[in-house]
Structure 1
Amino acid sequence: MASADNESTEIRCQERSKGGLAYEVILADPVTDTPPKRPTSPKSTSAENIEEKLKAAEERRMSLEANKMAALAAKMSKIEEASRKKDEQANTFILQTREALEQKMETHVEKREAYINDLKAKLKDHLESVEKTRLSLEQQTNEVKSAVEEKLKTAAAQRDENIKKMLERLREHEDHVERVRNGMQEKITQLESQIQQKLDLAQQRREEMEREQLEKLRNHERRAEMVRQNKERLSSQSEEQHTASSG
């Protein structure tokens, strides 16, 4: 456009960044660089209008930039809040799982100790019963011996025959006592073996439970680590986008 001093003015518009415009004003030399004259108009843009448009464009660019920064900050805030909640949930789950595992272990130990105590009580009762039977057999043996001795004193005529019979009965009785004692000892050995097998089985089950619970905890911690890495990657990407937009 031409001004009142007949100087040629050229206005160039260039888009500098998204949402903003930059204007370049070139004053041409009337002698060496005079563009074709255009008809003047009372509504032509003056230098003041151009300056105002430049300021308005800059303000719009700054406003858009501020809106972008605000939106990015809000997005980062939401991501951080979601990550914080996930971390809190993960920590709560780990704590609850650990407490539940400890409670299960305590309950298992209490049940195992009660079971062992019950087996010991049963074994004690059985041994007491065996001891009573042994004492009773010994008492019977002593009574038989006393009877034999008494009969030997009072039955002189049939002493030899009676002694032979009584000794035979005594041997048979002692053999019976020995068989009973051996049978009881075998039962006691079997019972002790069964108790030990049950104790070993209970120990194996407890160790399997511990391994399963520990594996669950490790899996959960690995998932928590993946969530944390994803959070750091999103944060890094957001920072790179912010740096790129600022540049």
Structure 2
Amino acid sequence: MSQPGIAQEVSVETKNSIINGLKNGPAGLTVTNIEHTPISGIYQVSVQGNKVFYSSEDGQYIFTGQMFKVAGGKVTDVVQLKQSQKNIQKIKQVPKKNTIVYPATGVKKHQLNVFTDVDCPYCAKLHQEIPKLNAMGVEVVYLAFPRAGIHSPSFSKIASVWCSETPKQSINKMYQNQTMDLLECDDTAIIAQHQLALDLSLKGTPAIFFEDGKIMYGFHKAESLLDMLEK
């Protein structure tokens, strides 16, 4: 039997079969999503509380734990891989005009999406690596994540950067602790990106997303990031 495509939608009949089978289990189990897995006849079931388990097609057998794919000399967490792919798709939906883009010099080889906070010292350190990354063919796209919240001084600062006529110069000033007048402007984009960061369950800044959705936190030198991009 051929392996189902993971991205393929599970049929209504199969979903109903699993849900009906699960009704024989604990009361109050609310299914939020059912997806294919790489294994034919085994489905990934998500329930309220961001919990995940696996089920047979009739919902009569379930098991928990991690599922790994073994290939290319490594093992990959299947759930984590699927979530990473979903995360990067959400990030790609943010209009480029609402970000700060540092394009690659010459041919673009890679892209990093970075959630940044102007009051984050490690963000300031990473910012200094951008010219090197650009020279190596890496485009860096900044998204805003003022971790202190949408009513905080950090929010006002980063909103002022995004609203500035020269955002790259403004963010340089912020990272260098230079005085800058705060602007009253449309902060809708910052609110949306802050909410996206929360939806992605980000734990800190800088939050660096690779092209495959993998995430890393904190400061890393340009050479180290390039090495990880090319693995």
What range is the shorter-chain TM-score in? under 0.3
Structure 1 length-normalised TM: 0.18
Flag the structure with higher strand content: 2
Greater radius of gyration (CA):
1
